[in-house]
A and B are shown apart, each in its own frame.
Chain A
Amino acid sequence: MAAAIEIPVEPLTEAAFAPFGQIVGVRDGAPLFAAPGVKTWGVDFKIDGTVEIHFARFDHADGMAFAKMERHFNVTQAFLPLDGAPSVKVFATPTDPDPSAIPEREDMRAFYLDGGRGVMMWKGTWHSDILPAQPPTGAVAMITAIETTVEMAEMGKAGRYDGKLTQIVDFAERFDQTFRISDPNGVIAG
């Protein structure tokens, strides 16, 4: 069993995140909507399918380790932290739709989600699960497509990795690789 490969966590900024998607937060530029007492900023959400909103609870794992990444071709999936719960999520930019186009360690970037903003990923952006920074769990609201959820449940049951809407890569199984988040710069709040 190979040692876990470390990925250092980085602060989340609009510029750093741009190759992977958009931040659901205060953006540069004029508000999308404003009325007395409220201002809003939007993201470029896209979906081929039917919108589905989930409350998702992710278990905290020691070392914030992960071995799987996935990408969705039909929806700019978005994650909105609840409870202000901090987490880390790892991304890699969209690659060729060919199932053999799998991101390498150098393509992976880990961002710290401090609980105050959400993220929306471009179609095809590779991503890990949400990795809660604190035990026991972290909750998010997730905006996705029903068709994506249904296919992923079928893929899970059948042990399939290459779907029409989603591709999953198990790095442990295929490459004997696992990853863990490191925090050399103390980005994760104590």
Chain B
Amino acid sequence: MPTTIEIPVEPLTAAAFAPFGQLIGEQDSAPLFAAPGVKTWGVDFEIDGTLEVHYARFDHRSEMTFAMMERHFNVTQAFVPLDGAPNVNVFAAPTDADDFSAIPGRDAMRAFYFDGGQGAMMWRGTWHSSRIPARAPNAAVALITAAETTIELAEMLAAGRYEGTMTQVVDFAKTFDQTFRITDPDGLIAA
């Protein structure tokens, strides 16, 4: 029976998120684009490959748990919550890209609460959990990624492989007999 490790969820701020990526939200700086009635702010998206936009629907589970994290080397993957659906995502800062054994420990993991009003773009190599919906039955996000990453990940899953050229997946349950559970000691998650 794996050990369950608790990770408390934190508020999402641009400063707190900086080691992991950038927020798709209003920023302190001057707008990237402005015209009457509209202002926009950008992020530093990068991709080696072909842009792909997904609508992704993640199932809610009775406990906000996860056992897998992954990192992508070829794209600053981004996700945008739809329907204002709140969710939690766990991140760890990029580790050595050339070393599959450079796996984040519990102390490197941070859980952030996404209230549905902002998206996030992750640096290349940022470790991340799947989206963890805060409410039943599911949460939808738009996912901005590379077509090559999706194809390789599907092949890896079908073959039971964890180490690809564009993505590394770690199953903590299998490798370390660990699973993780999100806790909310400060009551951040809206009822």
A interface residue numbers (CB < 8 A to B): 24-27, 32-33, 35, 37-43, 45, 47, 51-59, 61, 78, 80-85, 115-118, 120, 129-130, 139, 141-143, 149, 152-153, 156
B54-A85 in contact (CB<8A): no
Contact of A53 among B24, B57, B83, B150 (CB under 8 A): B24
By DSSP majority rule, is chain A's interface helix, strand, loop, or mixed? strand
Q: Which of A33, A120, A143 has the most CB of B within 10 A?
A: A33
Given that A33-B54, A82-B116 are known contacts, is A53 also in contact with B78, CB under 8 Å in the complex?
A: yes
**CB neighbors of A among B93-150 (8 A):** 116-119, 121, 130-131, 140, 142-144, 150
Binds A, one of B5-13, B30-38, B160-168, B175-183: B30-38
Q: Is the CB of A40 within 8 A of B143?
A: yes
* Contact between chains at A82 and B117 (CB < 8 Å): yes
Q: How far is the CB of B76 from chain A (nearest CB, A)?
A: 9
Name the distance in Å between B162's Cβ and chain A's nearest Cβ. Answer: 13
User: Does B58 lie within 8 Å of A115, measured CB to CB?
Assistant: no
Q: Are B59 and A57 in contact (CB under 8 A)?
A: no
Question: Which of B57, B82, B150 lies in contact with A118, CB distance below 8 A?
Answer: B82
Cα of A149 to Cα of B59 in the assembled complex, Å: 36
Q: Is the CB of B37 within 8 A of A61?
A: yes
Assess A83 versus B84: contact at CB under 8 Å? Given A33-B154, A38-B59, A43-B53: yes
Which residues of A lie under 8 Å from residue B57 when comparing CB positions?
A: 26, 38-40
**Residues in A neighbouring B32, C-beta threshold 8 A:** 54, 149
CB distance from B21 to the nearest CB of A (A): 11
Chain B contact residue count (CB 8 A cutoff): 49
The residue that A149 contacts in the complex, of B33, B55, B140, with Cβ under 8 A, is: B33
Chain A positions within 8 Å of B140 at CB level: 25, 116-117
| Cross-chain contact A143 with B53 (CB below 8 angstroms) | yes
Q: Which B residues are in CB contact (< 8 Å) with A27?
A: 55
| Contact across chains for A118 and B37 when beta carbons are under 8 A apart | no
Contact: A84 with B85, CB < 8 Å? yes
Q: Which residues of A contact B42 (CB under 8 A)?
A: 52-55
Contact A118–B55 (Cβ < 8 Å): yes
Find the B residue at minimum CB distance from A66: B37
Given A33-B150, A53-B45, A53-B144, 19 extra CB contacts under 8 A: A24-B82, A24-B142, A35-B157, A38-B59, A40-B54, A45-B51, A51-B45, A55-B24, A55-B40, A61-B37, A80-B80, A82-B24, A84-B82, A116-B82, A117-B55, A118-B53, A118-B142, A129-B37, A141-B24
